[in-house]
Amino acid sequence: MTRQPLVARRAEELLGTSVVSTAPVAGGDIATATRLRLSNGQMALMKTVAHAPDGFFEAEAAGLRWLAEVPGGVPIPEVLAGSDDCVILVWVEPTAKHQPEAAAGFGQALATTHQAGAATYGAARDGFIGRLPLPNKPCDTWPEFYAVRRVLPYLKLARDRGAVTDGEAATIEAVIGRLPDLVPDEAPSRLHGDLWNGNCLWGVDGAVHVIDPAAYGGHREADLAMLHLFGLPHLPRVVQAYHEAAPLADGWEERLGVHQLFPLLVHACMFGGGYAARAAAIAARYA
């Protein structure tokens, strides 16, 4: 057994129990993840980030706890401790077996989480998407929130970073005025906010757990659009179970691109490449 003294000591300070051993966990582009074996036999996951932005881990812990409030909702790892420099969660033992039954259960649970709702479009505090700040100041309508808190801030940042051309930006901006006509009116749903394959953890317990949220109140099609953008094993089973539990409004598949503009622009800001061009190509279908 190995033990990283600095990591173990910090975990012990927060948990009030001894750490028997530590082991690095592969994966994750932002945080350093370490598996902890505690003296009480429990396994935990500790995440740290060098020079984390102020409030980074507090926002993650708050989002996890908010999502976990929903009985029968998507399984969420319990937050054991959170601080300005790390967060510690109950360990979820992963499996490489992606069973269709687990996908169906995930779809039904996601519908339950969404249906739990939110007080407003937005959240009481700002958050993060990756390492980027995520503005969450509430708005009265989803089209307004999606425009001024999701699409436009990241379009501006992408322009500032030279990741989008003027022509691409104009094409994306043209969709903003059409949002009230494109997206059906629904009450705010309780969203994960960064729901892609990498944040869906298939467990040996036969359930799909979600991690690393950017949680807020928004339109439920935004979570589904992100799942479709980056893919998920047995996604048709997920959607079928979701639709059976909470039927989606007609035309939702044709609207997926509208809600994919935000994650594509986030990726353009972080990675450049062809993400902005892809967002513009999608936007052109709705302009």
Q: Which residues are catalytic?
A: 194
| 52 in Cβ contact with 85 (< 8 Å) | yes
Q: State the amino acid at position 246 in one-letter form.
A: A
DSSP 32: E
Burial class (CB in 10 A: 0-12, 13-18, 19+), 236: exposed
Tokens representing 213? 């949220």
Residue 258: partners with Cβ closer than 8 Å, 6 or more residues away: 175, 179, 182, 183, 221, 225, 286
What span, in angstroms and rounded, lies between the C-alpha atoms of 287 and 284?
5
| 87 in Cβ contact with 55 (< 8 Å) | no
Q: Work out whether strand 208-210 and strand 32-38 pair parallel, antiparallel, or are unpaired.
A: unpaired
| Nearest to 171, CA basis, from 16, 82, 283 | 283
Rounded to 10 deg, the angle between the 235-245 and 221-230 helix axes is: 170
* Sole residue written with tokens 């309780």: 190
The answer to whether the Cα torsion of 156, 161, 164, 165 is positive or negative is: positive
Main-chain phi, psi angles of 198, to 5 degrees: -65, -20
